[in-house]
Every structure is written in C-alpha cells, then in structure tokens.
Structure 1
C-alpha cells in the first residue's frame, strides 16, 4: 500500500507562476468589489439614475457565469498560456473601454467583455497550476494564491470610494491596466503553453442553451420594474429562460458530450448543495451591492466613508475561516446550514433597522457579524456540495457550482435592484429609506426560505 504523499513547500521555480495566477485572482476579486461603492458616482458621471445602475454589476457577473463552461475546453484545446494571456489582454482592453465610456449602454458592452476576460482568469490559472505544479506542492501554491483573492475584496470597496472621492471615476477601471501589463509580461515568461493532445468536441448546443437560460432569467427579473419595458416582456423573458433550462435538462440526459451530464444530479448531496447555493446566495450576494447604495443614496454617506464601512464585512469573513471546519465537524452539515441560513436571513433583514444616525460602533459590529455568518454559509455549502463527487465528476461538478454561484449573484443583484425600484415607486422618491428597508426584509425572507432546502440533508451525513 502506497503512503499518502506529504505536502511540501513550494519550489522557487514555481513561485513566478503562482504570482501570475495570483495577479489574475487579485484583478478579478478587485474588479468584483471596487465597483460597488462607485456606482452612484458613475451614475452621476453618465447622468443616470443610481438606482438603475445594477446592470453594470449584472453585465460583468453574468458574462463570467456564461463563459465559465468554455474556459477549461479552450485551455485544453489551445493551451493554458495562450488562453490566460488572451484573458488578461481582453480584461485590460475592456477596462480601458469602461474608463472612457460615454453612456451607460457603452459601459455595459465593455463590462460584458471584462466579464469574458474575468471568466477565464481564475479557472485557467488554477488549471495551469494543476497541470504544472507537482501534487505534493499544490496545497502550498493554492494557499499563497488564496491570499491574493482575499486582498482584492478587502481593499476593493475602500479603494473604489477613495478614487471616486479624491481622483476620478475612470481610475476604478484604469487601475487594471498596469496590473494587466505586468500579468501579460509574466505570462510569456512563467507559463508554459500546456495543452491536451486530444480534446473532445465542445458542446456548443448545450452552451447556447445555458446562455439563453441565464441571460433570459436575469434580464426578465432586471426589467420587471423598468418603465421602458411592459410587464409581458419580462414575463416572456423569464418563461424563455425556464424553457431553455428544461430543454438543457433533457439535452444533458441524452447528449453524450454534454457540458454537465444529468448523472451529476443523481448524487443527492450534490443536488441539495446546488439548489441551496442558488437560493441562499440570492440574498447574501446582493448585500455587497445593496448596502453601499443605501449608505450613499438613502443615508447620504460619502463614497470613501462607505468603502471604509464595508471593511468589517470582509474582516468578519476572514475571522470566520479558521473556525468553520471545527464548527461543521462538531454540529454536522445539516444543523449548521439550517441554523446559519436562518441567521443570515435574519441578519440581512435586520439591516432594515439601521438609519443614517445608527452609531458607528453598532454599524461596524453589524457588518462584521454579517461577514462571519455569510462566510460560514458559503464555505459550508461549497464543501457539502463537492464532498461526495467522484474523481470523474469532480471537474464538471466544480465548474457547474462556479457557474451557479455567479448566476445566483447576478440574479440576486437584479432582484435587489428590482425590489428597490418597485418599492421606491410605491413609497415615493422622498422615502427611499423605506424602499431599501423593505427590500432588505424581502431578501432576508428569501434567504430564510432557503433553509427548507437544507432540511433535506440526511441527518447522518458524514463530515
């Protein structure tokens, strides 16, 4: 019987590669969060309503979700270096386009291209490390890379607020250019162009069905409160999304080379985890978008102060990381996710109790607690979802989970914005605080409903 290989420190020859993948992870993490505190300023710059700027977030996240299934196949077919280099160039050029966009529609187009570049950065970078770095050193490499993923969201909101207030809105996009140029140069030096000798045909039919499903559902929810589109248009989009989803479900069952085979969902734990991830993230993922908007538009806070106030949420997430494993081991997945889903829902709803006059210490503590609970929720859900997959289904299952996470984020942001706009029309422009408060209560209730999904986790599920 072979001994389990021991984990080793990272050899110097692989450090530049890990730095490169970390740059991509940092760019993606930074860009996902730096925009949130800058949305009202971008709206002012483009002469748009700040409550209708959610498309800037949705366009990016939805593009990432749509392109994740394509990333692995392209890397195998054309080589990891070629695709990673292309991703950095696309991301950087799209960032330049975003900086100089003169209208909202122009900005949305560039955000879509930014999302396409961002979709390839992390999966292809991680795939390159998996193919090049020896298994005994992979844990050390992943640990180093994950630090970059934590730094991006930590500094993103504050950096965005500071740039908007003391520099220019354009700089939240232009900051990607020097990072991108550095990344492109290191790619040519540090990443070999590893590719697979034989690659199966890509399931373009299934890929198109998935894009139609995701885009239709998201746009249908996003346009629900839009005065520019009739109600039937939104309902038709949602129906088209549901029909495309059902056709894909049949396709995944009958097509031999489907992106995500239906057999994945014969695993009960995986199915519960995917459903739970989708519904539980609708509220949790919309909060980093909704809170900065409420603080600035409804409470009148400055962008830099808003960014500083978001730091406790990230610190709460970091503080929870060392204790999550012991909590799950002690209480089990079912009990942890049932209780924590309820707590996250209550915490989201409790943001409706805050006002512009809420003491700073109380607001800081509130955001920190949310960060702890949200991190515990996401890590527990992800671990539960993937833990029972066999080696053959691990890659496909992980890609589908990543896609669902991004889809849930885009729908969550669209839903949060739709709720605020609908409630804003009901309460009137002079009472935006009430609209935000009621939207937070609705999102909290949606999260609490998600606990029903985790109720179906078998009681004896091993950790």
Structure 2
C-alpha cells in the first residue's frame, strides 16, 4: 500500500468509527423526551440510557490494548464496530426502558474497543513522521459529530421517528468494516502477557455497581434500598481495588500515576470539571424541549451552537496557554466555564432565541479551552514508555466522571421537580441542576492550585521535552 494512501486511508477508517460514536452520543440526547414518552417513563429516568453507555465504556477501555494484542487489532476493531452496530439495532427495536438500557450498554462495549483500538492501529501502521497528519484527520469527525448530531437527531425525531436515528450508524459501520478488511493488517503481539483478571473484576464490578446504583436512585426500576445497596457494594469493591492495585507490579489500572502532580490535576481536577460539563448535553435539550416547549429539531439546532464555540476556541488555545500558563488559565477558566453552565438554568419561556444561542455559544468556548488544557497537561510529566498505561487510567476516570455528571444532574432535577410540586417538568425546575453542576466545575480549582506555578510550561511554550 503506498505511503500516501496509507496515511489517508487508515485514519479515515478510524474516523468512521469515531464519527459513529460522536454522532450517536449527540443524537440520542436530543431525542430523550420523545423516547421517554414512547417507553412510558419521564425524561429524567432516561439518564440511565446515557449512564449505561458510559459504564460500558469505562469497564472495557482498560483491557482494549491487551485484547488487541491478544487477538489482533484488525479483528478486534471490526468486531467492535459490529458490536456497536448490533447495540444500535437493539436500541431501535427496544420496547421497554430495561431493554433500551441494556442495548446502550452493548453499544458502550463496542465504543470502548472501537476508538482506542483504532488509535492503536494508527500508531502501529504509520511512520512517526505521519502521526501529526493522521491525528489531524481524526479531529474532523470529533468536531463534526457535535455539529451534525443534535440537529440531525432533532429533525428525525420531530418529522420522522426517534427509532430511525439508530440506523444512521449502519451504513457507516458497514463501510468501516469493509475498509478495515482491505487496508488494515491484523497486527498482534506474540506474548501479550497475562491480563490482570482480579483487578479487572474488582474495578469493573465496582464502577458498574456504583454508577448504576446511583443512576437508579429515584427511578421506578428499583427500590431506594436496592439502589443504595448497589452503591455501597460498588464502593467497597473500588476500595478493595485501590488496596490491591498498590501491591502488584502492573495492575489493569495503575493508580500510582495519580501521585504525579500534573497528572493528578488533569485527571482528578479535570474529572470534577467533567462532572459539570458531562451534565450539559443531558440537561440542555431537556430544558429547551420540556421547559421551553421547543421541538426536538429547534432544540437540536440550538444545542449544536456550543460545538461552533468549541471549534473557534481550539484556534486560540495555544496562544492563551502560552500567554498565561496552564495553572492560571485552568483556574480562571474553571470559574468562567462554571458560570456559563449555571446561567443556562435561567432560560425562561419567551426568552429571545438569539440570546439563548449566544449563551450556548459561550458555553462551548470556555469548556473547550479547559478540555484542551487538561488533556495536554496530563502527559507533561509522564515518561514516554508509560503513556499507554497512564492513558487507560485517565480515560476510565474521565468517562465515569462524564456519566456521573448526568447522574447527579438527574438526581438534582428530580429533587427540584418534587420539591416545587409541579405535575410535569417546567422551566423553573432546571436552575438548581445547572447551578450544582456548574459548581462542580469551580470545585476543580483547589486541585489545580496544588500544581506548581510552572507546570506544563514546556508544552505551553512549544518546547520539546526529553522522554
């Protein structure tokens, strides 16, 4: 295969998978109110659909590298696309909330293997001189997904039927599988080593039970006692994993990386920030549709504006970080991002659409700056040989924090709705949820303040650090 073709076609194949995942995640939140009504539940309960997908991601991301080494990257990548497609079809066929939640978990398993293994394929298939160009190709679907997804999902939901949104993935997935078969070598490691099964069971079981139990609080699917018991058992398993992981050489998730100040600030402080931001894609479409009475299409057309703010900010991130440094930027911007989230809670019926657009646009600017800074800072002090294992830790914590944001937002919204005594969800029920998740973004500041004042300076100034 010619080098020029390989540099283009391999990232294109991975981009197919990434586009599927990004579009799927954004179309579904726009369709939640209509989906909830068809399944006989209130829209708040549908937080389970978002959380179950994140659980699938968080559980299986840590082992994707080992699975790719053991069974071959092409085999795993194609299988992951197939699993994701199967989950999509199960979502479309769901007749109950339980089935829909299970189908979303299946999608999460596919997504957990699909994109990370795709990145592994790129870095193993291409020479290092082509890495930057290949990664640039990958940014296109990452940016287009949040732009295309909300209005597309809103249009299908408003003028056709929500079940059709899950068929968007099928032609893209089939095309990706076909391309992978033709252009990707099935690279595998001869001796991938043993998987840390005890660590995987403890971490996966603990995270799943804790997140699922928290999501079930206040729902009709389980009693309060059952939900709390699941949370307690999950927390105990996670605590056991913490002690276990300190005592073996290569645990499935090596939490010792959190001792590095820059990594700790990026992952733990960043996770507090992500709790706030993870709730917005869930809360905002509900606010616009259930609170302000907009159609799914209009709500989707407004929601996607934040993606334009994110794209614009990416052009200025390097200059901002170079001018002010990581520590100062992340502290000040956390306040601005938290405020931009909280103000969405004060949308009211009759509010001019242009003003809503402007606020949502600003809500894309500040989080984009924070995300880019946090993701860049994570590896500032990580040795090159440890980047893969550190990435697993960061990815799992990040995904679970996004899911935790949806869960917390749903609980606060449910409490607000109950206390205010409205028979249905109204616009004034939403402001406490936006305020709480906005405060989570601000809560990342104490963690960030523990960083050295010059943390990440080499990255911000563009100097190449030694491995």
TM range (shorter): over 0.9
CA distance in 2, matches of 1:224, 1:447: 23
Question: Could you say which residue in structure 1 is the equivalent of 2:453?
Answer: 459
Contact 2:63 2:252 in 1 (8 A): no
Question: Could you say which residue in structure 1 is the equivalent of 2:111?
Answer: 118
* CA deviation profile, 1:181-224 (whole Å, cap 9, x unmatched): 11111111011101111111001111111112212221232223
- Say if 2:403 is the partner of 1:444: no
Contact 2:265 2:448 in 1 (8 A): yes
Contact 1:92 1:177 in 2 (8 A): yes
- Say if 2:340 is the partner of 1:347: yes
CA distance in 2, matches of 1:138, 1:28: 22
Q: Please report how far the alpha carbon of residue 68 of structure 1 lies from its aligned counterpart in structure 2 after TM superposition.
A: 0.4
2:278 aligned to 270, 285, 298, which one? Answer: 285
Contact 1:277 1:404 in 2 (8 A): no
Question: Could you say which residue in structure 2 is the equivalent of 1:149?
Answer: 142
- Say if 2:205 is the partner of 1:212: yes
Question: Could you say which residue in structure 2 is the equivalent of 1:6?
Answer: none
Unaligned runs of 5+ in 2: 458-467
Q: How many residues align?
A: 455
1:24-35 alignment to 2 at 5 Å?
Answer: 24-35=17-28
Query: What TM-score do you get using the length of structure 1 for normalisation?
Result: 0.95
Change (3 A) 1:190 1:268: same
- Say if 2:260 is the partner of 1:263: no
Question: Could you say which residue in structure 1 is the equivalent of 2:362?
Answer: 369
CA distance in 1, matches of 2:219, 2:203: 25
* CA deviation profile, 1:20-46 (whole Å, cap 9, x unmatched): 111011011111111010011111222
CA distance in 2, matches of 1:300, 1:113: 32
CA distance in 2, matches of 1:410, 1:250: 24
- Say if 2:293 is the partner of 1:310: no
CA distance in 2, matches of 1:350, 1:10: 50
Question: Could you say which residue in structure 1 is the equivalent of 2:4?
Answer: 11
Question: Could you say which residue in structure 1 is the equivalent of 2:164?
Answer: 171
CA distance in 1, matches of 2:171, 2:46: 27
1:19-168 alignment to 2 at 5 Å?
Answer: 19-168=12-161
Contact 1:87 1:117 in 2 (8 A): yes
1:274 aligned to 237, 242, 267, which one? Answer: 267
CA distance in 2, matches of 1:100, 1:235: 31
* CA deviation profile, 1:143-192 (whole Å, cap 9, x unmatched): 01211221112101110000111121111101111111111111110111
Contact 1:282 1:443 in 2 (8 A): yes
CA distance in 1, matches of 2:455, 2:113: 34
Q: Please report how far the alpha carbon of residue 228 of structure 1 lies from its aligned counterpart in structure 2 after TM superposition.
A: 5.4
CA distance in 2, matches of 1:410, 1:462: 28
* CA deviation profile, 1:35-68 (whole Å, cap 9, x unmatched): 0100111112222212211111111121111110
Unaligned runs of 5+ in 1: 1-8
Q: Please report how far the alpha carbon of residue 433 of structure 1 lies from its aligned counterpart in structure 2 after TM superposition.
A: 2.0
1:398 aligned to 380, 391, 395, which one? Answer: 391
Question: Could you say which residue in structure 2 is the equivalent of 1:4?
Answer: none
CA distance in 2, matches of 1:56, 1:301: 22
SS of equivalent residue, structure 2 residue 316:
helix
Contact 1:92 1:176 in 2 (8 A): yes
| Pairwise CA RMSD | 1.6
SS of equivalent residue, structure 1 residue 182:
helix
Question: Could you say which residue in structure 1 is the equivalent of 2:187?
Answer: 194
CA distance in 2, matches of 1:355, 1:316: 22
* CA deviation profile, 1:427-455 (whole Å, cap 9, x unmatched): 12246322211111111122222212111
Contact 1:264 1:393 in 2 (8 A): no
Q: Please report how far the alpha carbon of residue 230 of structure 1 lies from its aligned counterpart in structure 2 after TM superposition.
A: 4.5
CA distance in 1, matches of 2:347, 2:47: 22
Q: Please report how far the alpha carbon of residue 227 of structure 1 lies from its aligned counterpart in structure 2 after TM superposition.
A: 5.3
Q: Please report how far the alpha carbon of residue 10 of structure 1 lies from its aligned counterpart in structure 2 after TM superposition.
A: 6.6
Question: Could you say which residue in structure 1 is the equivalent of 2:461?
Answer: none
Task: Indicate the larger mover: 244-253 or 334-343.
Answer: 244-253
Contact 1:30 1:152 in 2 (8 A): yes
Question: Could you say which residue in structure 2 is the equivalent of 1:245?
Answer: 238
Contact 2:261 2:450 in 1 (8 A): no
CA distance in 2, matches of 1:323, 1:213: 40
